[in-house]
């Protein structure tokens, strides 16, 4: 069957539309794939520092554990809602894992909080498994326990909403020349402040003893 000129032009026009639609579809798919790849890389960025890696329920006394929740945690701060029973013996305990992803040691300085974000003075906490001054070495994971309980009275209610920060600070290092200055000014060697190698410590201690002997001779 012979096609008219008008029909041929219509078919050619439709063919061009189909071809263009195919190329546009492929191009859009490629752009979308690139966008997804970029988004994926952004969300996979690794956090660094001293940080809480997990918080898990351990035990409770006269308490419904399902009423208490760990709302969130970020770096070394824990956001929690603790609900005890109306019983002075009521307690709840969680295990907290904290990791040091840095290349230097830090020391534990204690748990701190803003009173504006600790809304029930009747409920207090006790931390075990770590003491102030304990070190967390590079790549080390510290595991500690926190127990919430009444302080002996129930003044407000049985619920505590709080943000607690497990504070770590960089270990203080005093250069050898500063240590010697302290000795000359006070006559005391700050052993707890030294974070240098053993031979340097022995040298400073030896110099201190020599000074003491010389003072006795005079």
Tell me, what's the pLDDT at 55?
96
Least confident segment among 9-18, 98-107, 118-127: 9-18
Least confident segment among 22-36, 69-83, 141-155, 162-176: 22-36
Least confident segment among 28-42, 107-121, 124-138: 28-42
Express as a percent the part of the chain with pLDDT over 90.
52
- Mean pLDDT across the chain: 73
Condensed to tens digits (0 to 9), the pLDDT of residues 38-55 reads: 333 333 345 578 999 999
Instruction: Tell me whether strands 135-136 and 77-83 are parallel, antiparallel or unpaired.
Output: unpaired
- The answer as to CATH 2.60.40 being correct for domain 50-170 is yes
Q: How many angstroms separate the Cα of 210 from the Cα of each of 179, 184, 204, 216?
A: 16, 12, 10, 10
DSSP E strands: which ranges in the chain? 50-61, 69-74, 77-83, 91-100, 106-112, 123-128, 135-136, 141-150, 159-170
Tell me, what's the pLDDT at 156?
78
Closest CA to 84 of 69, 66, 63, 70: 63
Average pLDDT over residues 170-174: 65
The domain spans of the chain are 1-45, 50-170, 174-203
Tell me, what's the pLDDT at 10?
61
Give the span between the Cα atoms of 173 and 135, in whole angstroms: 14
Tell me, what's the pLDDT at 8?
55
Give the span between the Cα atoms of 29 and 14, in whole angstroms: 23
Give the span between the Cα atoms of 203 and 180, in whole angstroms: 10
């Amino acid at each position: 069957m012979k096609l008219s000129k008008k029909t041929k032009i219509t078919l050619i026009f439709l063919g061009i539309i189909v071809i263009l639609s195919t190329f546009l579809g492929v191009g859009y798919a490629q752009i979308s794939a690139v966008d997804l790849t970029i988004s994926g890389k952004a969300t996979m960025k690794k956090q660094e520092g001293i940080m809480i890696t997990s918080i898990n329920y351990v035990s409770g006394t006269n308490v419904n554990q399902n009423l208490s929740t760990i709302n969130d945690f970020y770096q070394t701060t824990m956001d929690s809602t603790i609900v005890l029973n109306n019983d002075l013996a009521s307690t709840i305990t969680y295990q907290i894992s904290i990791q040091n992803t840095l290349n230097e040691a830090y020391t534990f300085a204690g748990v701190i909080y803003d009173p504006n974000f600790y809304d029930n003075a009747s409920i207090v906490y006790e931390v075990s498994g770590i003491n102030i001054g304990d070190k967390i070495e590079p790549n080390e994971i510290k595991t500690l326990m926190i127990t919430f309980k009444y302080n002996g009275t129930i003044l407000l209610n049985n619920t505590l909403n709080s943000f607690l920060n497990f504070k770590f600070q960089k270990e203080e290092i005093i250069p050898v020349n500063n240590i010697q200055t302290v000795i000359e000014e006070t006559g005391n060697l700050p052993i707890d402040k030294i974070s240098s190698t053993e031979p340097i410590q022995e040298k400073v201690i030896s110099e201190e003893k020599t000074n003491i002997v010389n003072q006795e001779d005079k």
